[in-house]
Amino acid sequence: MKKFINKINEKATAVAIKAQTTLDNVKGEGYIDTGVKIIIGVVVGAVILGGIYALFDGVVLPTLETNIEDMFDFAG
The predicted pLDDT at position 48 comes to 96
In a domain, 76, yes or no: no
Q: Is the dihedral of CA 27, 32, 35, 40 positive or negative?
A: negative
Q: Per-residue confidence of the chain (76 residues) as pLDDT tens digits?
A: 888 889 999 999 999 999 888 888 777 667 788 889 999 999 999 999 999 998 888 888 888 888 888 888 766 5
The predicted pLDDT at position 32 comes to 80
pTM for the complete prediction? Answer: 0.47
Domain of 14, in residue numbers: 2-71
The predicted pLDDT at position 28 comes to 65
Question: What is the spatial distance between Cα 38 and Cα 60, in angstroms, rounded to a whole number?
Answer: 31
The predicted pLDDT at position 29 comes to 67
Number of compact structural domains in the chain: 1
